[in-house]
Chains A and B, each alone.
Chain A
Amino acid sequence: MLIRVNDKEMEFCGNILELVLSLNLNPKTCAVLVNGEIVKKDDWESFVLKDGDYVEIVSFVGGG
């Protein structure tokens, strides 16, 4: 199954929590948008990604 994560295509099967963990990111400090919509953290485990989904993983960086 092919999804897009931060503009890069990748093979992945599973839910959002599994995706975040597989990328070695801290789930506590990330937010995830699927097809432009924020997915609440409580729903990460039950949200299984589908073929063609566009995922953005965001977090905080230095900014003014």
Chain B
Amino acid sequence: MFEIGGKRLKSRLFVGTGKLPDYSLIEKMYYEAGIEVFAVAVRRIGPNTKHTKNVLEYIPKDATIMVNTSGAQDHKEAVKIAMIGRELTDSDWVKVEIEKDTKYLFPDSFETLKACEILVKEGFKVFPYIYPDLNLAKELEQIGVEAVMPLGSPIGTNKGIGCEVLLKPIINEIKIPVIIDAGIGRPSHAAQAMEMGAEAVLINTAIATSADPLKMAIAFAKAVEAGRLAFEVGILKEYEYAQASSPLEDFISG
């Protein structure tokens, strides 16, 4: 068990629900992969929209909903989406994701900071999606966000932990949890994030677009658990030359 955002959770694997072929997979992931946190987005629904199904109807009632402000271009839109989220759910968990560019989907740090300031004051549990930027992470910690969510690599690229040298200082220097979000494409990437000391990871594309999302969710859940156990024990240092595992004396002769 660990505590985050005022909740006690067992699973350190958070899952995004975008691109899922079928929302009924959410319930299966909850029961069979032990996923407890599901990210969702707010979009127009009804006439002349692509979206006709409401994802909330598919999320088990004991699961935690993380409202993602994706689609917001500035802090005002992000705050509005968070308010809508609170109006429609009991959840005060909000992932602040603000992007102006759609090619790389890099988070806008200035707008993210502004949105977080407002949302923390409004009583939300705030989880900002950020660049792996230690100074920004420190600012956000001061403001009072619950955790920071730096990207491993750009959203949906499956490239994994592309910037370990930038992520590690954040994990080492701030006291609030670090959740590695975006770009994680394989269970081994997730294990790597956990070995580094991340509190949790958030995966969407790698699970949702796989040939069998439930099986992949289980694979990720196991990888996250393995990585975390290894972190808790302590990863051993690397050596330049071989270090014998068996004793190097009293060999048999001839």
Contacts and interface: CB of A to CB of B under 8 A. Distances in A.
Nearest to A57: B46
Interface string B32-43: 000000011111
Contact of B45 (A10, A25, A33): A25
A38 B55 CA distance: 20
A63 B84 contact: no
Contacts of B192: none
A58 B204 contact: no
Q: Name the interface size band of chain A.
A: 20 to 34
Of listed A8, A10, A23, A58, residue having the most chain B CB within 10 A: A58
B209 to A, nearest CB: 11
A63 B47 contact: no
B64 interface: no
B46 A61 contact: no
Interface stretch (B15-23, B112-120, B223-231): B15-23
Contacts, number: 106
A62 B70 CA distance: 11
B42 A60 contact: yes
Interface string B43-85: 1111111010111110000000001101000000000100111
B205 interface: yes
B44 A60 contact: no
A41 to B, nearest CB: 7
Interface of A: 5-8, 10, 23, 25-26, 29-31, 33, 38, 40-41, 56-64
